[in-house]
Amino acid sequence: MATDLFSTARERLEDAARYLDIERDIIDQLRYPKETLAATLLVRMDDGSRKAFKSWRCRYDDTRGPTKGGIRFHPAVNVDEVMTLAFWMTFKCAVVNIPFGGAKGGVSVDVKTLSRAELERLSRVYVEAFSRFIGPERDIPAPDMYTNGIVMAWMADEYGTITGHPSPAIITGKPVALGGSLGRDDATGRGGFYILRHLGEDLGVSSDKSRIVLQGFGNASFHCARLLHDDGYRIIGLSDSTSAIYDPDGMNPYAVMEHKERTGHVAGAPTHGNARQLDNAELLETECDVLIPAAVENQITEANAARIKAPVILELANGPTTPAGDAILDKKGTVVVPDILANSGGVTVSYFEWVQNKAGYYWPVEEVHSRLKAILEPETRRVWEVARDKAVSVRTAAYVHALERIGHAVEARGTKAFFNQKN
C-alpha cells in the first residue's frame, strides 16, 4: 500500500501538467526526490539493552528554498511513505508561496512502548544520524505524528551540541520558551478554518446553517472544531482512532476534548442528548454539510466514495482521499478542498517561526494570526479561480497553481527551451 501511495501521489503531478505549457524536464525533476537518507538508530533502552530502529529523511525538492517537513514516529513508517509526504510538502509550500521545498522524516517505532527517557534518547540519536543532512539553511524538520514540542526541543538541543552553538532555526514547532512561535499550536486547524470561512459563499457554507463532521480528533481537528464551534457552526460528528459519536443537535468540542483527555477516547462524551455511537467508516458516510477528514491517509476510497453524502470535504489530514475515490467524488460534484491547501496553515506558521528565529525578534499571537490569514486567503482565492477558469477540480487547481510556481523557479535557472535557443 505504501508504494502505491507514492505512485498515486505522482499521478497528481502528471494530471496537473496537462493544464500547463511546461517543460518536460521540470516534470522529470519532480518525479523522484532529490535525496533520501536511511539510517539505523541504535538506542540504549532503560534495561541496558540496545534496540535498533529504522529511520529516514527525504529532501524532495529545494528549487524554491531549504526543504521543510515534519518527523513522524510510527510503527508503519517506511521509505515510500516518507517520500510521498515530502512530495506533498513540496507542493504545499508552493501553493501558499512560502520559500521552502518539501521534506519529511520518520522512525519506525511505537512510541507507546517507550519510556520518556527512551524517547529522548531516540530523538537525540535521530539528529545525530542526520546532522549533516539537515540544517537551518538546508532542511528544517518539524513535529508530525507522535512527535511534539518537547521532542523538537530535544532535537534542537542535540543539533546545538553537535554544532557547538544554539541554533533555534534548525527546527520548528519548538516550545515557545525555546524559540517557538506563538500561534503554532493551532495553526493547522486555524488555517483550515480560515480557508473554509473564506470560501463559504462559494461553497454555500455558512455558520448559521452548516453541519460539520470531523473524522479524527487530534490537535488539528480539535482546533478547527473549536474555531468552527465558536463561530456558530454545528459540530454533529467527531471520532478518534477507536470510536465515533454523532449527534444531529450538535456537541461542544471543548467538552468532548475534556472527556477524551480524561478517558482516552471520545466515546461517551457529552452532547445535546441525541448521540449515537458509530465507527469511523460510518461517520464518513453521515449526512452533513462539510466533512473534515483529519486522521490518516486513504480514508475515502473507491470502496466508499459513492456513499459520502457531504457536498464539501475539507482535507485536514494528509492524503485522506485516494485518486480512485477522488474521481468518484468529482463525478458526483463533491467539492474537495485538498490537503495541500487545507492543512497548509501548519507549515505557514512554521515558516513564521523560522523567520522569527533567524531575526531574533518574536511576534505577538495576533500578528501571527493576521499574517496567516493574509497568506491563506489570497492563495485560496487563486486556487479557486484556477479551478473555475480551467474547469477542473479544486485539487487539480491547487496542483496546477503549485506546479506553475515551481516551474517558474526551475525555468529561472534554465530548461531545455533556454539552452536550445540560438545566441
Kindly report, residue by residue over 320-335, the tens digit of the pLDDT.
998 889 999 999 999 9
For 112-153, what is each residue's pLDDT tens digit? 999 999 999 999 999 999 999 999 999 999 999 899 999 999
pLDDT band at 423 (very low <50, low <70, confident <90, very high): low
Q: How far is CA 321 from CA 51, 167, 231, 416, in A?
A: 35, 38, 27, 35
Q: Any idea which of 34-48, 175-189, 233-247, 387-401 has the lowest mean pLDDT?
A: 233-247
Instruction: Catalogue all structural domains in the chain, each as residue range(s) with its CATH number.
Output: 2-178 (3.40.50.10860), 187-342 (3.40.50.720)
Question: What percentage of the chain reaches a pLDDT higher than 90?
Answer: 79
Q: Tell me how far apart the alpha carbons of residues 64 and 93 are, in angstroms, rounded to a whole number.
A: 9
For range 260-266, the mean pLDDT: 87
End-to-end CA distance of the chain: 50
The amino acid at 298: N
For range 149-166, the mean pLDDT: 96
Nearest Cα residue to 294 out of 258, 275, 255, 266: 266
Helix (H) or strand (E) holding 400: helix 394-411
Judge whether 50 and 42 are in contact, CB under 8 Å: yes
pLDDT band at 6 (very low <50, low <70, confident <90, very high): confident
For range 73-81, the mean pLDDT: 94
pLDDT band at 2 (very low <50, low <70, confident <90, very high): very low
For range 215-233, the mean pLDDT: 93
Q: Any idea which of 9-18, 334-343, 394-403 has the lowest mean pLDDT?
A: 9-18
Q: Any idea which of 167-171, 196-200, 301-305, 342-346 has the lowest mean pLDDT?
A: 301-305
Per-residue pLDDT at 60: 97
Q: Tell me how far apart the alpha carbons of residues 290 and 210 are, in angstroms, rounded to a whole number.
A: 7
Active site residues: 104
Place of cell 523522484: 32
Residue 3 has pLDDT above 70, yes or no: no
Judge whether 385 and 327 are in contact, CB under 8 Å: no
